[in-house]
Amino acid sequence: MKAIRRNLRRLIPLMCVLFASLAVYGLYTLTAYGSRWFSYSSNSYVRAQKKNVQPGNIYDRRGTLIAGWADGERVYQQDETARRAMVHLLGDSEGNVANGVESFMSYYLYGFDQSFPDRVRQYFGGETRVGDSVQLTCDAALSRYIASVYPEGVNGAVCVTNWKTGEVLAEMSFPNFDPMRSVDEVKKNRNKPFFNRAVQGLYAPGSTFKIVTAASALENLADPGVTFTCSGILEIGGSIITDAGTDLARNSIVRHGEMNLRSAFLKSCNNTFAQIAAVLGDSQMKKTAQSFGFDVNFLFRDLVVENSSYPAHNRTEREIAMTGIGQSALQVTPMHMCLIASAIANGGVMMEPRLLARAIGADGKEKANLKPEVFRRALPEERAAQIREYMRAVVTDGTGTRAAVSGHRVCGKTGSAEIDGQENTNAWFVGFLDEEAHPYCLSVICENAGGGGSVAAPVAGRIFAWLLQNENN
The mean per-residue pLDDT over the stretch 388-396 comes to 98
DSSP states along 112-132: TTS-HHHHHHHHHTTPPEEPP
Q: pLDDT: is 383 or 130 the higher one?
A: 383
114 close to 120: Cβ distance less than 8 angstroms = no
3-state helix, strand, coil in the chain (%, to 5): 40, 20, 40
d(CA 85, CA 171): 9
Written as one letter, the residue type at 195 is F
pLDDT of 88 strictly over 80: yes
* b/e map 25-45, b = 16+ CB within 10 Å: eeeeeeeeeebbebbeeebee
Share of the chain above pLDDT 90, in %: 67
Note the pLDDT of residue 6.
Answer: 61
Q: Which pLDDT belongs to residue 60? A: 96
Whole-angstrom distance, CA of residue 6 vs CA of residue 12:
10
3-state secondary structure of 94: coil
Domain assignments of the chain as residue spans, ordered by start: 206-354+372-470
CA distance 211 to 253: 25
What is residue 31's predicted lDDT score, i.e. its pLDDT? 47
Specify the CATH architecture of the domain 206-354+372-470: 3-Layer(aba) Sandwich (3.40)
pTM above the 0.85 mark? yes
Q: What is the pLDDT of residue 169?
A: 98
Q: How confident is the model at residue 25 (pLDDT cuts 50, 70, 90)?
A: very low
Q: Taking residues 299-304, what's their average pLDDT?
A: 93
pLDDT tens column, 355-389: 999 999 888 888 889 999 999 999 999 999 999 99
Q: What is the pLDDT of residue 244?
A: 83
Of 116-125, 355-364, 446-455, the poorest mean pLDDT is in 116-125
